[in-house]
Each structure stands twice: as structure tokens, then as C-alpha cells.
Amino acid sequence: MDGKKPQGRAAGRIKVLVCIKQVRDPEAPLVLREDGSVDLESGASRFMNRFDEFAIEEALGMKDAGLAECVHAVTVGPERSGQAIRRAMEMGADSGTRIDFPGDFSSGPWPVSGLLAGFARKGSYDLILTGVISEDDMQGAVGQMTAEILGIPCAASVVLAELDPGKGTLYVEREIESGRRECLELALPALIAVQSGINRPRYPSLSNVLRAGKEKINTADPEEFGIIPAREILVGMNRPGSTRDPVFLDGRTREKAARLWDILHERSLI
């Protein structure tokens, strides 16, 4: 669909977009209401999806190496999710946009992918990065669907990426089972969903924090890109059951330690 060569490449430098999601701390307690819905807005800290930190770091690494001309960050979410964009800018992204959207959890992958694709199309990016999975929804789908809506190639679970802006290609290694890697070359523009371990995400430097503090986060209206409705209907939520018969030890730390010895000893495991 969008096969035309973006301008960025003429200069031998490319434009990079990183898709970032703000997630609720997965360790925070989840409150399931009587009606089967879940209270997600109250009482938990939120941060940038940890897989997306690897995506932004990978993009910034390309910029540091002089291969990328600019790195933009985008998120689809409500006002609070601007914090994740702020964090990306503090790490070093040149600019950040939040596409205003209420449901950043459980809305299914279509609406979000559609908005990201619409935003990316307008900006003529040569390379788009996403995380391999979001820690809350765990779909592992938004990156691949965004690429397909744009009609560009993609690779997921990428653990190594080497850009050749001159040739207009990206060499990638993607992880498959048992730590083996599939190696391929993608023609730009392309999208990669990066896996943890591809790099070590940086901490924001003081100068970037100061710079980012002064810059504003752009807000975009979703209507600008056209919303693709969800094709999956959420019919209910519940707590998953157990696969074993778990016994919780009680008492003080000492007593639990003694009890654990007894249990293991009874079973000749110690």
C-alpha cells in the first residue's frame, strides 16, 4: 500500500517511530467488581510497558550511531498515558504524540493498530518499532497488525537489528523456541516488534529530563486517522483457576521455613 520511498532516506538517514504503551503495574492488586468488570483506574502505579523501553532504546541507539535522523514516540491512550511519552522524551526521543483514546486496555488490537497506522502513514516513517507484547493486554498483536494495515513487512521477537540506510534494508534476528534465531532481511519501510534483552535501556540523563520538561506533548484527535472498530467483543472477565492444589503456608517467617522443611522432608525431596 504505502510502498513509496519516504523522503528521510534520500539523505541516507531515516525517520523512526516508536509506539509506546502505558501499563498499570502488573504487581498491583486487581479488583474484580460484582458485575465481572475490573477496576483498573484506581490505586496503582503506571509506567511505560517494559518491552517498549527496549524499543525506544533501540531507536535511540540508531540515532546515536548517526543512522536515524529523528526518533518520534507515539501512544494511544487517555491523558494519564502522556506520562509514558514524557518518559520516552526524557530518554531522548525528539518529540512525542498522544492520540487521545479512552480505552488502552481490553479494547482489542484493531482500534489501536488502526490509529497507530494512520499516524505512521502521515509521518512517512522508514522504521517503526514496538514492544513484542504489552504487560497488561498481552496480545502480542498491535505491532504486526499496524504493519499489515500499512502494508509493510514486519518481524516480531527481534533480538538484533542492523540498519543499512544506504541499501534501504534492515537485517534482523528474531528469537524462536529454545533460544534459536531466525535471520532475515527486510526492505524498508518496515516494522519490528522488539524482544527484551536486545539492549540495555538507558536512564534519562539530566539534560534530557530538563529538555523534555520544557517541550509539550502533542495531542492528536483520533478522528484525524479514522477509527477502525474492534472485531472482538469482550463478554466477561474472571480470575483464572489453579492448575495444582496450592497450599499457602501461614504463620511467621520462621514457622513457614520450618513447615516447608517438613513438607519437603515428608516427600523425600530434601
Ligand X SMILES: Cc1cc2nc3c(=O)[nH]c(=O)nc-3n(C[C@H](O)[C@H](O)[C@H](O)COP(=O)(O)OP(=O)(O)OC[C@H]3O[C@@H](n4cnc5c(N)ncnc54)[C@H](O)[C@@H]3O)c2cc1C
- Which residues would be at the binding site for ligand AMP (CB under 6 A)? 19-21, 49, 51-52, 55, 75-77, 104, 109, 112, 116, 130-131, 133-134, 137-143
Comparison of 76 and 186: residue with beta carbon closer to ligand AMP: 76
47 binds, among ligand AMP, other proteins, ligand X, none (CB under 5 to 8 A by kind): none
- 217 in the Ramachandran plot: left (φ > 0), alpha (ψ -120 to 50) or beta? beta
Which residue matches cell numbers 504487581? 27
Question: Which residues, numbered 122-141, are part of the site for ligand X (CB under 6 A)?
Answer: 132-133
Comparison of 124 and 196: residue with beta carbon closer to ligand X: 196
Contact 159, 198 (CB under 8 A): yes
Comparison of 84 and 89: residue with beta carbon closer to ligand X: 84
- Work out which of 157, 190, 217, 228 binds ligand X, going by CB under 6 A: 157
Q: Is 204 exposed, middle or buried (0-12, 13-18, 19+ CB in 10 A)?
A: middle
- The length of the chain is 270
- Work out which of 4, 10, 11, 27 binds ligand X, going by CB under 6 A: 27
Name the closest residue to ligand X (Cβ). 133
| SS3 labels along 94-144 | CEEEEEECCCCCCCCHHHHHHHHHHHHHHHCCCEEEEECCCCCCCCCCHHH
- Work out which of 8, 108, 118, 165 binds other proteins, going by CB under 8 A: 108
Residues that bind ligand X in the complex, under the rule CB under 6 A? 27, 132-133, 157
